[in-house]
Amino acid sequence: TESLTVAELAKKLNREPSEIIKKLFLLGVVATINQQLDKDAIELIASEYGVKVEEEVVIDQTDLETYFTEDREEDLEVRPPVVTIMGHVDHGKTTTLDSIRHTKVTAGEAGGITQHIGAYQVKIDGKKITFLDTPGHEAFTTMRARGAQVTDITVLVVAADDGVKPQTVEAINHAKAADVPIIVAVNKIDKPTANPERVMQELTEYGLIPEDWGGDTIYVPISALTGEGIDNLLEMILLVSEVEELKANPNRRALGSVIEARLDKGRGPVATLLVQNGTLHVGDPIVVGHTYGRVRAMVNDLGRRVKEAGPSTPVEITGLNDVPEAGDRFVVFEDEKTARQIGEARKQQAVQAHRNETARISLDTLFEQL
């Protein structure tokens, strides 16, 4: 509350403006109803009515990234693409993710037990692709609301027997707003009622013109159920990835985003982080959103303990002193002291913001009751 008029303050205090004017006069201030009152005057009057004025909290919007300097062009190396799958309900997003995971992960990595950490990687001809398990819509809305952009490529799954539906359009809008390229996976082509041509026709209305028709959108017919076309889809993802020239500098302290986080009974706060630049190591002092700590242990998507994780790699970590939120940014610091200082400051801000939010709510309810 920077400044209020006498009328506004009277309203907040549930009093007549004339009463406030009288009080001010007794305090030696001559005021009219529309006069702006400064912070001190507001506090003084409020205290006369036993009301404490809450400081307006300015939540530090300084993004953690400001602690991160730009990379030099010559330090950048090619990194794997991070892919999210989007599409209408029941069009086959989960089945597609499972199909990719089963054909690639278990076959390629003998002995590895896939673990749910919210993301996984597959390797095709030595090239990696990272897939986020989070339904694309959620990933986009929650992540983007927090300023994190993690997706490089969107696979839009459209059931060939159902065509373009509301959430298909929503997905297109999300991807376009984030400027993320779209690959269309025309799914369920094993069904007799499948009509891939119709899907293409309908999608041209949204600017997704197939290459064959003079556009630049890649369409891949697949059956997530039988596995048909999955290899082709993966190849197309790698192709788009090359065009996008996705790069990062693996030889620096890590920066990235939280994919998901929870409190584990035995291990404490557990978070899946997506490394977006640099390399994350066990032992790194880290600030994550409004929390901080030191990376105690890291586990990859196969449930194996790892010591480091490079660009585009998802890892589950322990060692934070609180549970962060999906979409929170993380940055590794040089020393533990700095990480602790910055982490503590951010934690205080979060606590303060929460407290004020609660205070504001209770004050509002109070006024309603009066």
With b for 16 or more beta-carbon neighbours within 10 A and e for fewer, the 106-144 pattern comes to: eeebeeeeeeebbbbbbeeeebbbbbbbbbbbebbeebb
Interface with Mg ion includes 341 (CB under 5 A)? no
Interface with ligand GTP includes 95 (CB under 6 A)? yes
Interface with Mg ion includes 35 (CB under 5 A)? no
Interface with ligand GTP includes 290 (CB under 6 A)? no
Concatenated DSSP letters of 76-104:
-EE---EEEEEESTTSSHHHHHHHHIIII
Residue 81 makes CB contacts below 8 A (sequence gap 6+) with 129, 130, 152, 153, 237, 238, 240, 241, 244, 246, 312
Closest to ligand GTP by CB, 44 vs 225, is 225
Give the one residue of 190, 235, 308, 325 binding ligand GTP; rule: CB under 6 A: 190
179 burial level (CB within 10 Å; 0-12, 13-18, 19+) = exposed
- Between the alpha carbon of residue 98 and those of residues 68, 101, 109, 133, 295, the distances in Å are 36, 5, 16, 10, 30
Longest dimension (CA), the chain: 87
Which of Mg ion, ligand GTP, none does 89 bind, CB closer than 5 to 8 A by kind? ligand GTP
Residues of this chain, 87-106, that bind Mg ion according to CB under 5 A:
93-94
Interface with ligand GTP includes 191 (CB under 6 A)? yes
Interface with ligand GTP includes 102 (CB under 6 A)? no
Interface with ligand GTP includes 174 (CB under 6 A)? no
Interface with ligand GTP includes 33 (CB under 6 A)? no
Interface with ligand GTP includes 90 (CB under 6 A)? yes
User: How many residues line the site for ligand GTP (CB under 6 A)?
Assistant: 15
Q: Running DSSP on this structure, what letter comes out for residue 183?
A: E
Closest to ligand GTP by CB, 156 vs 342, is 156
Closest to ligand GTP by CB, 151 vs 279, is 151
Residue ranges of the annotated binding site for GTP are: 87-94, 133-137, 187-190
Residues near ligand GTP, by CB under 6 A: 87, 89-95, 187-188, 190-191, 223-225
